[in-house]
Structure 1
């Protein structure tokens, strides 16, 4: 297969490219700079430009680009960057694939379980409505921006990803050094649910989506058994053989993180109903397997 990607320099994008190349697939990586070779093509999401030559003959497009949600404090300017990087980029890609004479069979758009907002103890699957707040509103607009591709008859999937367990980036990339240093602990009261997925399963799920024609619309990419932050903290301590007594009180988190603290302390008990129904088998369904896989 020939697969075009955005966001190929990120944690998930890099791993996906490695996986595809290992199995003999060709990739075209869309970049914002001048292309360095035939495996790259130019795009400018803010300007709405996507080089159509990079999309010619591709079987699938996996669109993962977007500014990191936890990379900076949520100033008004950075909240605009979070939204624009997702909505403008998705709109540009969707219009570009819709305009092709021979469009790809599938467009997989990155999304997030932030769509559901704070669900407390209530388990939710893809049939649940959007939550309220900044991140749910971003996810709603992000997914809506793919409308041109759907209108053109292209199978469009929204991969609503949870917390990816990986040592090389994302939330867990920041947690591992703290726990190794013996200063890891629960966040707030620790009762909030964390819906996680190992990096290996994230990549396998994205490839499963590409290869499964029956899948369209939202698909949750989370392990089947969400756990509380307190349970995740205990698992990290067991595996790393470190104490986990340094709890971070909610007021301290709000002082340090500002508005973003509300989402860190919020609870999301998200289930991967559509993945399981489509026959996907998790390699690391539990938190301990996921953590060990990341450390390996």
Structure 2
């Protein structure tokens, strides 16, 4: 009996690689990629590749994780347009292709930036409505609006993803070199909330939503115990046995990232209410355990 088919974008990314590895035993996977040699090396020879969104007839599931990295460059007007088009245009292409041959589920990326900056004492769940309108919100809102058009013909789940902590990519990959040298420290006041999720739990949450046919809509993909930036800094220092005495002043963050410094200086206290209510069990609900597990990996 042939395997069901799955189409994925962003398959060579930090989350996508692990997701493909977890699913290739269950699905015949086709991945969208601009670099087939890199994709073959990362994903294996048993994955089909394509350079453009194909005819999706026969696809059982579509997972959309692609997007220009949001924190790699200053948010110039040109970079903002790149961030938007890398998410919005591809999502529109996928929805148009799926409309002709609907899969049973469409899982599409988003981020907790959807909520905009919030005060440290504000608890944010999926139903939170007092959203701060900044670029990150508009970027995620436009992404979600385009994905939700697929609700007309299939089940849609949106992944409002927090800071993904894992070895080999994401935020932790960037933080480890200075922290290992004892050069880490809080960013700005350190009071801003950091809603995080372990790489392991992020992948598990996508698998959970893929299989739960009764679930749809937006899901906060964050651990149930968010922490402040100071607490994250101290926990990483403990995990590495290094001091964390060199804070980054707000001005330095703004010089580095411009408007994008809001990603470092602001935050949200996000709770995964819908995942918890659906029965999802986090392997790493607490930060110290998550860091220990990821640094061992």
TM-score by length of 1: 0.92
| 1:39 match | 47
| 2:122 match | 122
| 2:191 match | 191
| 2:109 match | 110
| 2:270 match | 270
The count of aligned residue pairs is 285
Q: C-alpha distance in 1, partners of 2:115/2:154? A: 25
Segments of structure 1 that go 5 or more residues without pairing to the other structure are 45-49
Alignment CA distance shift 1:25-1:74 (3 Å): same
Q: C-alpha distance in 1, partners of 2:84/2:33? A: 19
Q: C-alpha distance in 1, partners of 2:209/2:235? A: 30
Q: C-alpha distance in 1, partners of 2:107/2:168? A: 23
Q: C-alpha distance in 1, partners of 2:195/2:187? A: 15
Within 5 Å, give how 1:109-188 maps onto structure 2. Answer: 109-120=108-119, 121-129=121-129, 130-151=131-152, 153-188=153-188
Within 5 Å, give how 1:146-295 maps onto structure 2. Answer: 146-151=147-152, 153-295=153-295
Q: Is the 8 A contact 2:30 2:50 kept in 1?
A: no
- Alpha-carbon distance, 1:34 to partner: 6.5
| 2:94 match | 93
Give a deviation string over 1:164-195, Cα, whole Å, max 9, x none: 00121222210011111110110001000000
How well do the aligned residues superpose, as a CA RMSD in angstroms? 1.6
| 1:47 match | none
| 2:14 match | 11
Q: C-alpha distance in 1, partners of 2:294/2:36? A: 33
Give a deviation string over 1:98-132, Cα, whole Å, max 9, x none: 111xx211000010000001111201100013431
TM-score by length of 2: 0.92
Segments of structure 2 that go 5 or more residues without pairing to the other structure are none
Q: C-alpha distance in 2, partners of 1:254/1:39? A: 41
Moved over 6 A (4+): 34-38
Q: C-alpha distance in 1, partners of 2:240/2:161? A: 25
The alignment partner of 1:27 has SS state of strand
Q: Is the 8 A contact 1:194 1:269 kept in 2?
A: yes
| 1:27 match | 29
